[in-house]
Amino acid sequence: MTSPEPAFDTDRAALVARLNTVLPAHCLLVDDEDLRPYECDGLTAYRELPMAVCLPETEGQVVDVLRTCHQLGVPVVARGAGTGLSGGAMPHAQGVVLSLARFNKILRVDREARLAVVQPGVRNLAVSEAAAPFSLYYAPDPSSQIACTLGGNVAENSGGVHCLKYGLTVHNVLRIRVVSIEGEVFEIGSEAPDSPGYDLLALLIGSEGMLGVVTEVTVKLVPKPELAQVVMASFDDVGKAGDAVARIIAAGIIPAGLEMMDKPATAAVEPYVKAGYDLDAAAILLCESDGTPEEVAEEISRVTEVLTAAGAGNIRVSQSETERLRFWAGRKAAFPAVGRITPDYYCMDGTIPRKRLAEMLAAIVEMEKKYALRCANVFHAGDGNLHPLIMYDAAKHGEWERAEAFGAEILELSVALGGSITGEHGVGIEKINQMCVQYKTPELETFRRIKAAFDETGLLNPGKAVPSLHRCAEYGRMHVHHGEIKFPELERF
């Protein structure tokens, strides 16, 4: 395939010389062995060495680095903790990585106003820890919350297991400071409920480092519920489990968390964490209720009733905080647990309408045969976000290519079922081709114009998130055979 992305031709020596004038020596990495740790993010299958890594310590230095790169026409890839799963922080071979790792201070926790002002390199969990003395916390809790940073959460609009009730990053960020590629500092949003003009906060959150570099984030803190309890239910059929999810919602219940794991996932997890999962079940559901003790008791009894009516076999309710955490431990450890039983795994992130779940899982079983690879499924059932974990061995010839094709087919089926190619991990480099399936040309052109409104020369994270039309044309030629469309049996959305 010919290179569909704009080419850059960076003079490395000139770049390093200029960066040396704006950064102290300990803030600039240029030797290959120092650059190596930055060659990929959480999606390790895609790697690239940058020309330099900048580790600024002040906003002024961020401005200078961006101005320098703008003047020299050098691509810039911003990076937080590098835990992203879509290759969004994969470096550009002709560019610099702008690491915000040293922006690691919590600037203010305001109890009365229920907000925290933090630098973008602060870890997600650290915000909740700092707010804990006030019985407040930051709601979005991606599974990587021990390591992932707020700057990265803003770039990816990260979710977590509690977003059905508490929202995504976009619902929990009040204000950001952003530096444009030209080095201009913008303050977007405020501590007030809204701001004049367009809702640029919504546009910036989830923009994958393509529109600006975040240097400060103000987040909303919410009161910690007095109590949380989780119901664990087993089902002998995934369709029944999916139906149970719909019934809970139809009963007017919005649980704090609603997660599903299929049999291969529980089989991988149980020996690792001993959460007490029913290994005979085709699927298990975890349904969390939080609030005042009275509220939780009322909701748990309603949930239990609905689950029983939906045909749940074994139903257990956590009787202590320790037990609640144990039930969750398995779900939170699903990725590393799968990592124990296979040399490599490839995590997908499609969303689908909940009612199509059984269909999707049946299709995945067929794909396992087609690509001769195993797949375990964990599912944010409450909001339709599926994480199939495709198991492969990178050392075996052809397995990664089969895993990649398997993943692409899942994503394209997600779109065909009325969903999306990514619920919370972002497009990055990984799903760039599937964007051509998700959107038509006019939408992609609109994205490109929005990008140009912020970054006319296209230097911020080039080649990610929004494919060029050329790339889509190439991808279309590869994937449409004999004029047939995929999944012809499905109704189109």
Partner 1 sequence: MMLDDLVAALRAAHDSQTPLRIRGAGSKDFYGGMLAGEVLDVAAYRGIVAYEPTELYVTAKCGTPLAEVEAALAEKGQMLAFEPPHFSGATVGGCVAAGLSGPRRQQAGAVRDFILGVKLIDGAGQVLDFGGQVMKNVAGYDVSRLLAGSMGTLGVLAEVTLKVLPQPVAEQTLVFTMDEAEAIKRLNQWGGQPLPVSASFWHGGQLWLRLSGARAAVDAAYRKLGGTLAVDAENHWISVREQTHPAFAGSILWRLALPSTVHSPGLDGLRAIEWGGGLRWYAGELDAVRGAAARAGGHAVLFRAPESLRCREGAFASLLPAMLALHRRLKNSFDPRRILNLGRLYAEF
Which residues in 234-253 contact partner 1 (CB under 8 A)? 246-247, 249-250, 252-253
Rg of the Cα trace of the chain? Answer: 23
By CB under 8 A, name the one of 16, 73, 101, 114 that touches partner 1. 114
Least separation in angstroms between CB 336 and partner 1: 23
Name the segment binding partner 1 (CB under 8 A); options: 48-56, 133-141, 143-151, 255-263. 133-141
Here's the x/- map for partner 1, 349-368, by CB under 8 A: it reads as: --xxxxx-------------
- Outline where 87-168 has alpha helix (H): 124-131, 150-156, 163-166
Query: With binding defined as CB under 8 A, does residue 105 bind partner 1?
Result: no
Sheet holding 185-189, edge to edge: 106-110, 115-118, 213-220, 173-179, 185-189
62 vs 67, 117, 223, CA distance in Å?
9, 18, 34
Least separation in angstroms between CB 276 and partner 1: 28
By CB under 8 A, name the one of 136, 217, 281, 347 that touches partner 1. 136
**Backbone conformation region of residue 461, classed left if phi is above 0, alpha if psi is from -120 to 50, else beta:** left
Looking at residues 310 to 329 of the shown chain, list those that interact with partner 1 (rule: CB under 8 A): none
Least separation in angstroms between CB 398 and partner 1: 28
Name the segment binding partner 1 (CB under 8 A); options: 17-25, 55-63, 446-454, 476-484. 446-454
Here's the x/- map for partner 1, 8-47, by CB under 8 A: it reads as: ----------------------------------------
- The residue type of 479 is H
Least separation in angstroms between CB 197 and partner 1: 5
Tokens of 368: 């396992």
Q: Whose CA is closest to 296, among 245, 249, 253?
A: 253
Query: With binding defined as CB under 8 A, does residue 135 bind partner 1?
Result: yes
396-430 exposure pattern, b = at least 16 Cβ within 10 A, e = fewer: eeebbebbbebbbbbbbbbbbbbbbbbbbbbbbbb
255-287 exposure pattern, b = at least 16 Cβ within 10 A, e = fewer: bbbbbbbbbbbbbbbbebbebebbeebbbbbbb
Least separation in angstroms between CB 476 and partner 1: 17
CB neighbours of 447 closer than 8 A, spacing ≥ 6?
Answer: 439, 466
By CB under 8 A, name the one of 117, 122, 150, 168 that touches partner 1. 168
Query: With binding defined as CB under 8 A, does residue 419 bind partner 1?
Result: yes
Query: With binding defined as CB under 8 A, does residue 196 bind partner 1?
Result: yes
Antiparallel, parallel or unpaired: β 173-179 and 213-220: antiparallel
23 vs 48, 96, 149, 209, CA distance in Å?
23, 13, 23, 21
Name the segment binding partner 1 (CB under 8 A); options: 14-22, 311-319, 335-343, 422-430. 422-430
Between 23 and 347, name the residue whose CB sits nearer to partner 1: 347
Least separation in angstroms between CB 191 and partner 1: 4
Q: How far apart are CA 17 and CA 280, in angstroms?
A: 63
Here's the x/- map for partner 1, 294-313, by CB under 8 A: it reads as: xx-xxx--------------
Least separation in angstroms between CB 289 and partner 1: 10
Report yes or no: 41 and 83 within 8 Å, Cβ to Cβ: yes
Query: With binding defined as CB under 8 A, does residue 205 bind partner 1?
Result: yes
In a 13 Å sphere around the CA of 245, the CA atoms on its Cβ side amount to 27
Query: With binding defined as CB under 8 A, does residue 159 bind partner 1?
Result: yes
Query: With binding defined as CB under 8 A, does residue 440 bind partner 1?
Result: yes
